[in-house]
Structure 1
Amino acid sequence: MKTRLVSLCVSLLIPLLGLSQSFNNLPVITQKPPLHGRHWMAITGKPLAATAGARLFHKGGNAVDAACAMLAATCTMWDVLSWGGETQALIYNPRTKKVIAINALGVAPTGATPEFFKNKGMKYPPEYGPLAAVTPGTPGGLLTMLAEYGTLSLKDVLEPAIQMAEGYPIEAQTANSIEAGKAQIKQWPYSTRVFLPHLGQTREAPDAGEVFVQNDLLETLKKLVDAEQQALKKGKSRKDAIYAAYDRFYRGDIAKEFVRGCQEQGGLITERDLAQWKVKIEEPVMTTYRGIDVYKLQPWTQGPAMLQTLNILENFDLKSMGYNSTRYIHTVYQAMNLAFADRDFYYGDPAFSPEIPINGLLSKEYAKARSKLINMEVNDSKAAPGDPYPFEGKQNPRRQLLQKWENLQSRVHTPGNPLTDAQFMEQFQAGTTSVEAADKEGWVVSITPSGGWVPACIAGNTGIGMSQRMQSFVLDETEGPFNVVAPGKRPRVTLTPTLAMKDGKPFLSFAKQAGDEQDQLLLQFFLNMVEFNMTVQEACEAPSFKTLQMYSSFGDHKKVPGGLILNSAMPAWTRKDLSRMGYTISYQERTSGPINAIWFDWPHNTFWGGSSNHGEDYGIGW
């Protein structure tokens, strides 16, 4: 009996602490089972949207077709994003054996200058409303991915989303978000019409399980399909027909109504802004960690910060420190702070700032120099950007601004428990969704779409919620010289899909939601697998920790020096050690995600899917 009791205690403790290799390799009991598939895998933020991906696979589509169907479904479900937001993706093409980067982030519209916002008394562009909007990128991103790398028609891919726009049973999370945001929603007439079907009643949002109908969006999606089908009837190729739908959205009647509805409500977006915007198919950036090639998008996202952190951490023996030990947490935290300080200063739209020192930032030599700054005994609350230019053989043209950066104390959060500041935490953890798909042919897709989340301002009769991504710009070059708002410029975003390759084959595809947390927790997920041999589901659920020391990309753009969020299960001795090292500690019961991931089991030629126990994210495999 005593032996059984000890075994029971051990089995309960292992999942609590996320220990995968302790206790003689006893199996870890995760709250969600791993997903398995031989032919394909589809994972995203809502089970219903994952079903949309499965439907496309059953029609014979590839992973790109399925990913586009899931993207369309999540946008239609307002899964912390909508059709007017932005899409960022990495795609592995098994034919060329290359990773492709998709940049479908909108740009600041005509008139969006620092002076415009300052004259309105703003320190940053607003969080909500028409002035928060960059041009919509998700429709173009979806259509471009489908045209270039998919196999099925737009009609096939949008069929699940069209059926959902006709009416689907809305889930409690989104329905309650609408109710909570109804005061803002009522500022915008088109949003009121869509989101508040019970206007004037005690609860004005839909009830959980109520069939939620979006007639305006339905008509917009049908117009896209109609444009494709008319082009096919004229003898156009599949690819050109999909681009006909692209043209209708950005240059046709949909564009005209979007702009009319935006400007009517005080927005800046013009027809010219939409017509001139284009999706970019780019080269990703990459680093190698312990023989694994890790790919991210360019520095218009925060993605390279994870690569920088990996480069710094390669100078330490993390495995010997032990998973989530005091020394491990401290080392990873300090490395992240150095990389994110670089993010805050150097990252931005390369099209406007081609001199961004990305090669220096990602060099192993620069990382080694940065690693020597880590004090293993105490937190460095003043971790600042470095100077990567010498590692490219150049001189820093913004050295004077760099010296001013350390004095931005006005953006430091007031002392206290940040978890009790609902506005700060909402800004810091601003959500979105992620889409992961893979198939037996070898196509792999990782997407982190976002923007246009509830409470969203809908543009006219399109049914499309406008992006809120303008708030990620700054107005003062001291805060980030490469990320100052300008017409036609892309803001530096937190959105960051990831692909990892090993021995020339896909190893991991992974992404997550939640703003500035993304690359922190994706980093730890990756280390969980690579350093501590966890399975993909264990790694998704294992307790992580978070730094609040980087500047938030949203709202007031504040930070908490030494701010550390630990899992509530962290033992007392670790808490005490970290407090003694100068951390301001807060606790959350779940700190794992939401992360969605696919691991490629090449010895068995199968897929393992993982989805954290943090939210509604899940998937389907076959």
Structure 2
Amino acid sequence: MLHRPELHGTACAVSSTHWLASAAGVAMFDRGGNAFDAATAAALVIQVVEPHLNGPGGDVPIMVYDAATGSTRVVCGQGPMPRRATPEAFRRRGLAVIPGSGLLAATVPGAFGAWMRLLRDFGRLTVQDVLEPAIGYAEDGYPLLPKTAAMIEVMAPLFRDEWTESGRTYLHHGAAPAPGARMRNPALARTYRRILAEAATGRTREAQADAAISAFYEGFVAEAVDRFMATEEPIDSTGRHNGGLLTGDDLAGWRVPVEATVALDYRGHSVHKAGPWSQGPVFLQQLALLEGFDIDAMGFGSADHVHTVIESAKLAFADREAWYGDPEHADVPLAGLLDPVYAAARRTLIGPEASDVLRPGSPDGRKPWIPPVLDVSASSGDPDWLRQLADGIPTVLQQTAAKGDTCCVSATDRDGNMVVATPSGGWLKSSPVVPGLGFPLGTRGQMAWLDEGHNNSVAPGKRPRTTLSPTLALRDGAPYLAFGTPGGDQQDQWTLNFFVNHVDFGMSPQQAVEAATFHTDHVPSSFTPRRARPLAAVVEQDGFDPAALTELRRRGHEVRTVAPMTLGKVCATGPDSHGGVLAAASPRGQQAYAVVR
């Protein structure tokens, strides 16, 4: 029995990780907008109502299917490292890794520019149209999510004593607000209104989007960031006060790129991902491995099914660790990693027992290398807020089974346009709020290595390899599904399960969203302190036959059961088979909702 119905409509569909965002997205169709306008409005609302998971200072990859041209593209909202970011710049501060919080891990904030680029190039509406709902919630308030309230409560001592601008933004008279309280962010509203005023100088909607980008990256926003970085040295996850490396010139010198997708065919579907500056190709590598197995014959939830998927994930993610990085700065052997011959050779490594060894491959005969993982965990005697900062994930430790979280927006319209994105970064736990702007900067730089010579080593102007990973799927050359999930490193495991459930096991999208899921923690986390559990198999309780779990343990998996319906929040939209649109949203967390018309 489904917890929620699968939704079908005739005009538009929006699915996102917050109900207010989904409603704002659908409202754009009343103004004559399309899927791209809807996704932009929804994402801008999410920056306001999910500040514990993302913000304007964060980052986002946006996957686009443009029905007018029949093409797929990636709008890359992953900003690069500052020009002053070198391994030596960090080592001079006595650091062996990039901190997971504070100012040193800040990259150019790419999210706002990416949404404006999407609006300008693919939308129909104006900057004012898509910003109005977000401004409304920032000014008039929105109901505070329990997880946001929990994070603010844990961080309240830091906000009161050290990150005082964050305290002014998130605390009420010095105290953490209660879950459900009406939360406002007037400083962010003023930032958006000032951007609107500058955008209004443009004579066309495209010129207005360009003016908004200029206001952010060359105007008053960049100036505020530059001033903050030049004068402040807030405490960070090291327990020390450190300034940052980002400057206004870094923002002024960057513009959002639009890139080709990376694609692979799987059982009649053309699956599209962002490039190896994301972890997106790991989804394709898993599919390439699973192509050689009869997954359907194994039966959903069987020991064979779970074992095969987990062991495939281990191999694909090991390659992520060894080879992925910004292809504009590193020689990533992507063609070799996706070669069917390479996948066939790797598939032979999947045996009857669980592997506890990180086994990257040698595409094109090249020797893999993964830098050693250094433990920079906080000590047990540190205050709770410092332990939270020491772990770079945007969640409160010990309150979630999912190590890492973010947001998702998916939209499809009657014309066949599809878009999906996973906004993240710039969350309230990442770094202090920039005075006058109402939002903090992101910490995506923590995912880069200080070890020189690796494809993901830090370098000036280089994108750190991110975990963010939305997916587009076509079938017979036509738009089919646009989907994604929160979840840090687990994104391309939980969405893989969703896709396999649908394609191999024949579930409807809503059934596939709700089916019990699982993942492995085999590889080191992308977030500091990069912990790993090589034999871990995390499964949702009551979703699998106890006999299957017993068999998995016999094969060597360290099976950990977590509460039902706690892993991921997959959101999906797409055309349906009757000329309309469909939407699915996970009931996990009681937060993601889909809306159709």
Residue 170 of structure 1: CA displacement?
A: 2.5
Aligned to 1:550: 523
Query: Are the equivalent residues in 2 in contact too, given 1:188–1:458 (CA < 8 A)?
Result: yes
Aligned to 2:360: 385
Aligned to 2:446: 471
1:308-327 per-residue CA deviation (whole Å, 9 max, x = no partner) reads 11001101111111111111
Match of 2:292 among 315, 335, 354: 315
Match of 1:138 among 111, 128, 131: 111
Calculate the aligned-residue CA RMSD, in Å.
Answer: 2.0
Residue 427 of structure 1: CA displacement?
A: 10
1:400-430 per-residue CA deviation (whole Å, 9 max, x = no partner) reads xx3x64x9476699xxxxxxx9859979722
Aligned to 1:207: 178
Instruction: Give the SS at the match of 2:484.
Output: strand
| 2: CA distance, partners of 1:239 / 1:422 | 40
Aligned to 1:567: 540
Query: Are the equivalent residues in 1 in contact too, given 2:186–2:438 (CA < 8 A)?
Result: yes
Aligned to 2:206: 239
Query: Are the equivalent residues in 2 in contact too, given 1:44–1:619 (CA < 8 A)?
Result: yes
Residue 224 of structure 1: CA displacement?
A: 1.3
| 1:98 maps to 2:71 | yes
Equivalent position amino acid for 1:35 in 2? L
Query: Are the equivalent residues in 2 in contact too, given 1:543–1:591 (CA < 8 A)?
Result: no
Aligned to 1:15: none
The structure number with the bigger radius of gyration is: 1
Aligned to 2:390: none
Match of 1:585 among 542, 559, 575: 559
Aligned to 2:314: 337
| 2: CA distance, partners of 1:336 / 1:591 | 20
Query: Are the equivalent residues in 2 in contact too, given 1:289–1:314 (CA < 8 A)?
Result: yes
Inter-CA distance 412–335: structure 2 relative to 1 (3 Å threshold): farther
| 1:451 maps to 2:416 | no
TM-score, normalised via structure 2 length: 0.91
Query: Are the equivalent residues in 2 in contact too, given 1:565–1:587 (CA < 8 A)?
Result: yes
Residue 70 of structure 1: CA displacement?
A: 0.5
Query: Are the equivalent residues in 1 in contact too, given 2:151–2:396 (CA < 8 A)?
Result: no
Query: Are the equivalent residues in 2 in contact too, given 1:566–1:587 (CA < 8 A)?
Result: yes
| 1:226 maps to 2:226 | no
Query: Are the equivalent residues in 2 in contact too, given 1:536–1:599 (CA < 8 A)?
Result: no
Match of 2:94 among 104, 121, 126: 121
Aligned to 2:132: 159
Residue 257 of structure 1: CA displacement?
A: 1.1
| 2: CA distance, partners of 1:207 / 1:463 | 20
1:196-215 per-residue CA deviation (whole Å, 9 max, x = no partner) reads 1221xxxx122333332222
Match of 2:332 among 337, 341, 356: 356
Residue 183 of structure 1: CA displacement?
A: 2.9
| 1: CA distance, partners of 2:320 / 2:344 | 17
Query: Are the equivalent residues in 1 in contact too, given 2:11–2:413 (CA < 8 A)?
Result: yes
| 1: CA distance, partners of 2:504 / 2:429 | 40
| 2: CA distance, partners of 1:426 / 1:537 | 24
Match of 2:33 among 61, 71, 76: 61
Inter-CA distance 184–35: structure 2 relative to 1 (3 Å threshold): farther
1:503-529 per-residue CA deviation (whole Å, 9 max, x = no partner) reads 111111100001011000111100000
Structure with higher helix content: 1
Equivalent position amino acid for 2:201 in 1? Q
Residue 111 of structure 1: CA displacement?
A: 2.4
Query: Are the equivalent residues in 2 in contact too, given 1:262–1:460 (CA < 8 A)?
Result: no
Residue 90 of structure 1: CA displacement?
A: 0.6
Aligned to 1:46: 18
| 2: CA distance, partners of 1:183 / 1:345 | 39
Query: Are the equivalent residues in 2 in contact too, given 1:494–1:515 (CA < 8 A)?
Result: yes
Inter-CA distance 382–168: structure 2 relative to 1 (3 Å threshold): same
Aligned to 1:365: 341
| 1: CA distance, partners of 2:443 / 2:398 | 17
Instruction: Give the SS at the match of 2:292.
Output: coil
Aligned to 1:374: 350
Equivalent position amino acid for 2:77 in 1? A
Instruction: Give the SS at the match of 1:438.
Output: strand
Match of 1:520 among 457, 474, 493: 493
1:504-563 per-residue CA deviation (whole Å, 9 max, x = no partner) reads 111111000010110001111000000111111111011111100011000111211111
Query: Are the equivalent residues in 2 in contact too, given 1:412–1:558 (CA < 8 A)?
Result: no
1:371-410 per-residue CA deviation (whole Å, 9 max, x = no partner) reads 01111x21121141101124xxxxx2xx2xx3x64x9476
Structure 1: which 5+ runs fail to align?
A: 1-28, 391-395, 414-420
| 1: CA distance, partners of 2:403 / 2:290 | 25
Query: Are the equivalent residues in 1 in contact too, given 2:313–2:493 (CA < 8 A)?
Result: yes
| 1:249 maps to 2:216 | yes
| 2: CA distance, partners of 1:568 / 1:367 | 32
| 2: CA distance, partners of 1:611 / 1:427 | 19
Residue 571 of structure 1: CA displacement?
A: 2.5
Which of 326-335 and 119-128 deviates more? 119-128
Aligned to 2:385: none
Query: Are the equivalent residues in 2 in contact too, given 1:102–1:282 (CA < 8 A)?
Result: yes
Equivalent position amino acid for 1:210 in 2? A
1:278-330 per-residue CA deviation (whole Å, 9 max, x = no partner) reads 11100000000011000000000001001011001101111111111111111
Structure 1 segment 272-291 matched on structure 2, within 5 A: 272-291=249-268
Inter-CA distance 473–423: structure 2 relative to 1 (3 Å threshold): farther
Equivalent position amino acid for 2:69 in 1? T
Aligned to 1:482: 455
Residue 171 of structure 1: CA displacement?
A: 2.4
| 1:195 maps to 2:170 | yes
Aligned to 1:175: 149
Instruction: Give the SS at the match of 1:268.
Output: coil
Aligned to 1:621: 596
Residue 331 of structure 1: CA displacement?
A: 0.9
Aligned to 2:386: none
Instruction: Give the SS at the match of 2:74.
Output: strand
Instruction: Give the SS at the match of 1:476.
Output: coil
| 2: CA distance, partners of 1:427 / 1:114 | 33
| 2: CA distance, partners of 1:96 / 1:151 | 16
Aligned to 2:380: none
Aligned to 1:74: 46
Instruction: Give the SS at the match of 1:500.
Output: strand
Equivalent position amino acid for 1:225 in 2? L
Aligned to 2:301: 324
Equivalent position amino acid for 1:124 in 2? V
| 2: CA distance, partners of 1:435 / 1:547 | 25
Aligned to 1:393: none
| 2: CA distance, partners of 1:572 / 1:223 | 58
Inter-CA distance 271–408: structure 2 relative to 1 (3 Å threshold): closer
